[in-house]
Amino acid sequence: MSQLLHTMLRVGNLERSIAFYTKVLGMKLLRQSENPEYQYTLAFVGYGEESSGQAVIELTYNWGTEKYDLGNGFGHIAIGAEDIYARCDAIRAAGGKITREPGPVAGGSTEIAFVEDPDGYKIELIQMSSAQKGLG
């Protein structure tokens, strides 16, 4: 059976991104590797070990590249949370940027919020009690 393994994001400052995903979003740094020949470093972060079936985020730092044009094709990463209201308070207190305050999705009842990482990637927080219902 196939399994979703990870989502890769190119980042401009690996240490800053690791700090955001671990200290602000509460993930763990699972592993990190460096490739001097091709000048890139990978860091994998997530809430659980990959071996347990958890999908993770691969942060890719291409040495010397500090910024990327995010374009308009990528939407966001979604994370389920038991209490998105308290989670947004904690993210704000840790210096994170809330771009959409928690509340019902437009035209529905699913409660969501949006956060932005240091590189501008959007992260949607979805209230777990409604995450399996789909948006609406």
Contact 88, 101 (CB under 8 A): yes
Q: Could you say which of 15, 58, 66, 124 is catalytic?
A: 124
CA distance 25 to 47: 9
Asked if 66 is an active-site residue, the reply is no
CB 62 within 8 A of CB 17: no
Sequence-separated (6 or more) residues with CB below 8 Å from residue 22: 28, 29, 45
Active site residues: 124
